Amino acid sequence: MGAIYLGIPKSLAIFIRQKFNVSSFVETGTYYADTALWASGLFDEVHTIELSNTLYKTVVEKYGNVPNIKFFNGSSQIVLNDLFRGGLPISLFWLDAHYSGDETSGDELSCPLIDASTFAHTTHIRSSARTLKNQ
């Protein structure tokens, strides 16, 4: 059946960070911030987006003092576009936003990954991909 990972495959993220000198990590679906906290020890900056107001408030209260993590509350599609407009260094993206019951949000979204991935057609992504390909 293949490997099943809960969270980002850490060895793959470390490889990408080192091989391509990636300094930024962008995550959709903060949940309890486990991945963001792990990434903050590896990347210079971490951007994590959570749709649920409750989860966002919980993680900001608990981890808002971690200097290289920027927490965002809102739709992945909107926040990702705002991040690109503001400029991002070459980044590793972990698009993990999804509804999973309980206190999570987004039960009305059929597939947030498809909606969030529409940003991949921007010049920023194509430019970053060319940069990585040429390294």
The 10s digit of each residue's pLDDT in 5-22 is 667 889 999 999 999 999
Distance between CA 14 and CA 130 in Å, rounded? 20
Distance between CA 131 and CA 135 in Å, rounded? 6
Question: According to the model, what pLDDT value does residue 5 have?
Answer: 62
For residues 80-109, average pLDDT: 71
In a domain, 4, yes or no: no
In a domain, 10, yes or no: no
Q: What is the CATH number of the domain that holds 57?
A: 3.40.50.150
In a domain, 56, yes or no: yes
In a domain, 118, yes or no: yes
In a domain, 25, yes or no: yes
Among the listed residues 39, 14, 23, 16, the one whose alpha carbon sits nearest the alpha carbon of residue 90: 23
In a domain, 114, yes or no: yes
Overall number of domains in the chain = 1
In a domain, 83, yes or no: yes
The parent domain of residue 30 ranges over: 15-133
